[in-house]
A and B are shown apart, each in its own frame.
Chain A
Amino acid sequence: MDTQVLLSYLPRYLQAFCLTVQIGAIGILIAFFLGMVAAFVLHFQLPILSGIFRFYIELFRNTPLLVQLFFIYFGLPRIGIMIPAQACGALGLGLLGGSYMAESFRSGLDAVSIGQSEAALALGMTNRQLFGFVIFPEAFALSIPSIVANVIFLFKETSVFSAISLMDLMFTAKDLIGLYYDTTEALFLLVIFYVIMILPVSLIGHLIEKKTHDRIFGA
């Protein structure tokens, strides 16, 4: 491996890294809130909305992100909706992630026992207090391991951003290989940067798991 080549590639990879992290983070943030809303709607079986969110979850959980991105990036402009590539990436990731997050949060909500609700109500809490102070925090803590897994999964999914010509890590590697044929160096940096991106997420995730889920419910 040529160190000179590695060093010369570094600035482009760094740029791509920042872009990937940025879009990934925004997408995951969207996924997080979308998932939370969807889980709430499904858990409490709100009329009409339940059907809409059920349809949304099934649609996005059962199609590949690549297809979703193509649809948003190439399909929507046909009906006059133009979205810039970066927003497409974040939106696509958010919609895919939202469907996974919804199921994570929902399993958490469903896992809180009725006894907990009754205990809170017996203490004179209103339904709102019951949800805010008991059901939601408990469900959230229960969902954390699965949310962490989703975040890691979604960061890895960012690799398909290259398909809608976003200059992410994957795009940069393919581009450099196409230009200079330094395959080894380009792929080496690609792996390294993905690890740099996802390993901390994984470690922080485990730390959060320990601090919340494990402390409350045991490992």
Chain B
Amino acid sequence: MDEILHINNVTKAYEDLTVLDHVSFSVNKGEVVVIVGPSGCGKSTLLRCINAFETIQDGNIVLGGETINPCKEQLHAVRERIGMVFQSYELFPHKTVLQNMTLAPMKVKKIGRKAAEQEAMALLERVGLTEKRDYYPRQLSGGQKQRVAIVRALMMHPEVLLLDEITAALDPEMVREVLEVVIDLAAEGRTMVIVTHELSFARAVADRMIFLDGGRIVEEGTPEAFFDAPGTERLQKFLHSFTYQG
């Protein structure tokens, strides 16, 4: 399989605190990798390192053969190839749904307005939000905002999509509408790295699971093995903390 993203021995530390400790894994084209782990285990930091929002102290990250270097001038060219969706949506409040989606393609990729809007409308239709095209973000529900944020990222045709706890800020009844979009993308063969607390969703969408604890990869495997036969005590404990029947 084509390897698209390679995380190689990545170490991230804030002064004395080591957040990521020699983390290595790779992501193949079309693969969905889901990272779970307790709060503060470094999941989000890992995603932020991939998109060079954090500098790393050791190791490297390679995207399609090109090493991502946070100090590099042309960082935006690398980020253009990676899509990222945040827990807090981060739609641009002064732009309508349609403008949120077309801004980057028009300014960064220099795509014409008409073509960009056409593509945006097709994506909005896919996530059931065509009639919201001229709404401002504050007029949308959390679930709608997050769906817009996802399709906004897709507008840039990213090679890899990073989803950072995208349902963590949502009311329970809105989680599903967002996760269904992600499942749909997985079925289409999108390459994604997902950080989430929704274990049943993880199981449904993942090709491979990674359990991160204390900045290290503790366990890695297929969803079946991961959930049904966890190999380590720490993962067993972690999975157990999500169930309530003794």
Contacts and interface: CB of A to CB of B under 8 A. Distances in A.
Interface of A: 113, 115-116, 118-126, 129, 133-134, 137-138, 141, 212, 215-218
A161 to B, nearest CB: 37
Nearest to B48: A118
B150 interface: no
Contacts of B17: none
B88 interface: yes
Contact of B92 (A116, A118, A124, A212): A116
B53 A118 contact: yes
A121 B75 CA distance: 9
B136 to A, nearest CB: 6
Contacts of A126: 76, 108
Given A115-B86, A122-B82, A138 B92 contact: yes
Given A123-B156, A216-B136, A217-B138, A134 B92 contact: yes
Contacts, number: 70
Chain A binding site: helix, strand, loop or mixed by DSSP? helix
Contact of A115 (B88, B94, B103, B138): B88
Contacts of B109: 124
B241 to A, nearest CB: 29
Contact of A216 (B79, B84, B93, B103): B93
B4 interface: no
Contact of A121 (B76, B83, B94): B76
Interface residues of B, number: 28
A217 B139 CA distance: 10
A216 B108 contact: no
A141 B92 CA distance: 12
Contact of A217 (B82, B92, B93, B152): B93
A119 B86 contact: yes
Contact of A124 (B79, B91, B94, B149): B79
28 contacts: A113-B90, A115-B86, A115-B90, A118-B53, A119-B90, A119-B149, A120-B92, A121-B53, A121-B76, A121-B79, A122-B153, A123-B104, A123-B152, A124-B76, A124-B77, A124-B79, A124-B104, A125-B76, A125-B107, A125-B108, A126-B76, A133-B103, A133-B107, A138-B93, A141-B93, A141-B94, A212-B94, A217-B138
10 tightest CB-CB pairs across the interface, nearest first?
A124-B80, A119-B90, A123-B104, A122-B84, A124-B108, A115-B90, A216-B94, A216-B93, A126-B76, A137-B94
B196 interface: no
B136 A123 contact: no
Interface in B117-164: 136, 138, 149, 152-153, 156
B51 interface: yes
A133 B107 CA distance: 9
Given A113-B90, A122-B153, 18 more contacts: A115-B86, A115-B90, A116-B90, A118-B84, A120-B92, A120-B104, A121-B53, A121-B76, A122-B79, A122-B84, A123-B104, A124-B81, A125-B76, A133-B107, A138-B92, A138-B94, A216-B94, A216-B138
